[in-house]
Amino acid sequence: MPGFEIPRHVAIIMDGNGRWAAARGLPRGEGHRRGVEALRKTVRAAGEMGISILTIFSFSAENWSRPASEIRDLMGLLRRFIRNDLAELHQNGVKVRVIGAREDLDPEIRKLLEEAEDLTHGNDGLTLVVAFNYGARQEIARAAARIAAEVQAGRMEPSDVTADHIGQCLDAPDLPDPDLIIRTSGEQRLSNFLLWQAAYSELVFVPTYWPDFDREALETAIAEYHRRERRFGGLIARTGS
Ligand code: IPE
Ligand code: IPE
Ligand code: MG
């Protein structure tokens, strides 16, 4: 996209797999499988476009309320994605990070996630942040618990707690907040995704179901981002006034 400054951190709520499948008379699992293909394309496009960080909402802390068979499908897809795609991601210099609560995950899945992080740790291409078993309220509660423990141990005072400090206790404290959050499928809500980090993110909602998302859809969302005026509570300096 010539002439455009590319957002540094793009986060995507990959939604609409089930409806994509239902519209075609297919089982929901087929929608999830096609969703993984859209993810592959999007990761490739993001890297080529010069995006530094891509965060993807893969499985929410609330998605455990779905039927067991669908959860099995989703866990199986994650397993397969890491097994089949990790080598290629690594080859392309992608650095994988994971956010979310790992403790409740199947040990095999935990191991795969750790393997992906360890293998790609030294890479300096696109950072791919996988939000898995992720909920923003839970993430903030984990941060609060860590701070409470510091206070209890006498290492800090309650009055020392600042927004920056809370930010530093979140799951990926070294990463900048997302500039742009895209949600597919037409839903216009955050569904407990990055609530803290989204304070000044631009939100772009697109009607496309996730399996149909591709490079062109990403470019269109970024073009919309460029039409926005980010003010961060301040004023934009205007010439001639
Ligand atoms: C997104 O698609 C994938 C996950 C939430 C894991 P959905 O499964 O939510 O699809 P819809 O929203 O039912 O169409
Ligand atoms: C958000 O989508 C979670 C992921 C994309 C992983 P959901 O489909 O779970 O969200 P709701 O239930 O429509 O809010
Ligand atoms: Mg959904």
What are the tens digits of pLDDT across the range 179-218? 999 999 999 999 999 999 999 999 999 999 999 999 999 9
| Maximum CA extent, the chain | 62
Structure tokens at 232: 């961060």
Structure tokens at 140: 């903030």
**Is a pLDDT exceeding 60 seen at residue 239?**
no
Three-class DSSP category at 205: strand
pTM of the model: 0.96
Helix (H) / strand (E) containing 81: helix 68-91
Confidence grade of residue 237 (pLDDT, cut at 50, 70, 90): low
Instruction: Out of 12, 13, 15, give the residue to mutate to test ligand 1, the one with the largest number of ligand atoms within 8 Å of its CB.
Output: 15
What are the tens digits of pLDDT across the range 100-154? 999 989 999 999 999 999 999 999 999 999 999 999 999 999 999 999 999 999 9
Q: Is 59 in the pocket of ligand 2 (CB under 6 A)?
A: yes
**Which one, of 123, 114, 129, 226, lies nearest residue 178 by Cα?**
129
> Measured at the alpha carbon of residue 203, what is the angle toward residues 200 and 205, in degrees to the nearest 5?
175
φ, ψ for residue 132 (rounded to 5)? -130, 130
What are the tens digits of pLDDT across the range 49-63? 999 999 999 999 999
Q: What is the mean pLDDT of residues 71-83?
A: 97
Rounded Cα–Cα distance for residues 170 and 161 (Å): 14
Can you tell me which residue has the tokens 């609530």? Answer: 195
Task: State the closest ligand 1 atom to the C-alpha of 21, by its place in the atom list counted from 1.
Answer: 14
Domains of the chain in sequence order: 9-137+177-226 (3.40.1180.10)
